[in-house]
Structure 1
Amino acid sequence: MADGGWIKVYRKIRQSFVWTDANQLKLWLLILMKANHAPSKFLFNGQEVSVTSGELVTGAHALAFEMNDGVRRDNQVSWRQVWRWVKRFENNGMLTIKSNTKYSVISISKWCDYQDNDNQVSIKRQSTVNQVSTNKKEEKEKKEKKEDSQHSRKREYADDSPEMIEAVYLWEKIKGNNPEHRKPSLQAWADDVRKMHELDHRPFEKIHKMIDWCQIDTFWQTNILSASKLRSKYDTMAAQANRKFAANKQPRIEKLPDWAEPDYKPEHKKASEEDRAKLAEQLKQLRSLGDKAQEAKA
């Protein structure tokens, strides 16, 4: 990839999920900038690699290094998170990945449509915008949602993908509570995890913690037996978990006895004749003991 040159970024990127996250937007632009504009060969980790236009050879650590170059340490992104985002780009049809033990080849989808034939693409896009009515736009959005739904059911999640990792983690927790529970379709569970992350905007870290919480709670561990159930009951469980956490944080207040109160005044009771007689007898016994003690000293 040459240091000079330029890439095209279309305005509709504002409608993509990458626009809502600065780091994901930065990563997507970095991938576009690193892609080759023409077929070429170069060395990567001591091995000659051939790529065509719209492709780049890289790895999770290499991308993370360039992402974090010049960034303060507390704002840097881990290589695992960088690769999760790259896999998310792939799941959304933005690119494809072919990996081996030494490197990965990333191919950007529709590279030629967006980066080549500038005039023709611009004229075609402008013409389309002028001709499409509001109703047609709505029909297109419905169609895209339907296609996305159909596509999501066909997705295959790798064993090291964050979606599959959380699906397996939930299955292991459920199996730990009930070893006889039937093994589910982990691909379907991974897709439900993806929906929690992409559609419900739940970070993988919080999904992981919710799995821990619901499989410890005596009520929810018998009710959350699938990823789809975890998704549907997530808000209810989150509210309950927050209430329990707040209750545990409240300090215990011990009630002071009456005599310890600042304005306490003891109640004076008049002694009975019987009580006075007992007290007089006790005093007499004490004086007698005192006299005996004096005599012994003498």
Structure 2
Amino acid sequence: MENQKSGYVPLYRSVLKQAWSKDVYLRTLWENLLLSAARKPFTASFKGKQWHLSVGQLVATAADLGLQLCDRKGNPASRDQVERMLQVFVREGMISIDGEKQKGRVITITNYSEYAQKIDDLPAHEAAHEAAHGEASNGAALKVVAAHGGAHEAAQHEQEGNNNNIKTSSSENSDESSDKPGNKLPVLRPEAAIQSGTKWGNSEDLRCAEWLFSVVQSISSTAKKPNYAAWANDIRLMRQRDHRTHKEIAVLFRWACEDAFWKGNVLCPATLREKWTQLDIKRNKRPAANGQARQEIDYNNTDWISGVLDEKFF
């Protein structure tokens, strides 16, 4: 009965076949994300802000997630450790992340509908949530339990619910339907060249996504084929919400993949979007040569790009 009140998600044995699952922290983090994701669209209160979450989404910070990953002595995982673990899931196409690290980010689980279970008709479900939250809500609350001392009490995680498809913040998807079975089907976008659930992109977004992956393949020929719907969606959001052009996206991604530090760290549009400002700042630094700064490249002049990028993309 207690399980029925709290809800559940199936955990597939195929997870054990994944290389990353051998890391107990990675596997636990993945399970925590699944169990904390929103089962229905709802508004969560987190760090004094209202977050409109879609199915399969949760709002968190790396520090909060680290508090749920403790060693035997009760020491939580650090923020940096969690960030590196989250990037593993991003590269695997399992999640996408959007938002500010300190203020909270929306994590969207790809294909969450495969994990979600309809529990509205389970005994005492609604009554249990009304008793727990004072009103009907959408699943188990993601709250930090102070099981390891007062340090954990500092994190005020007020989020309620479980979560859906890998994508960006609710502000980006609040007008899109979920693809969870039993709910209304997602809106089919007539301009979409590719769409999976609420993630979609037009033909140029998809074309750009394919080109970006060709750059990744030039670094690693064994790179796993990405979820192109998710990649195209990230590119579309950069274009529509961040006002980047496809050319700007391609140029900065190519630069990151050739930079000594960023090479291997920026391997998908989601990471490119998150790190855009840092990447752009470093790219535009003018290193001194013989005590004098080099002439700055005029990125408004497209002559310099000739021969650098694949002409068939542009």
User: Which is helix-richer, 1 or 2?
Assistant: 1
Question: Which TM-score band (shorter chain)?
Answer: 0.3 to 0.5
Pick the structure with more strand per residue.
2
Q: Provide TM-score, normalisation by structure 2.
A: 0.38
Question: Could you say which structure has the larger radius of gyration?
Answer: 1
Greater length-normalized contact order (CA 8 Å, ≥ 6 residues apart):
2
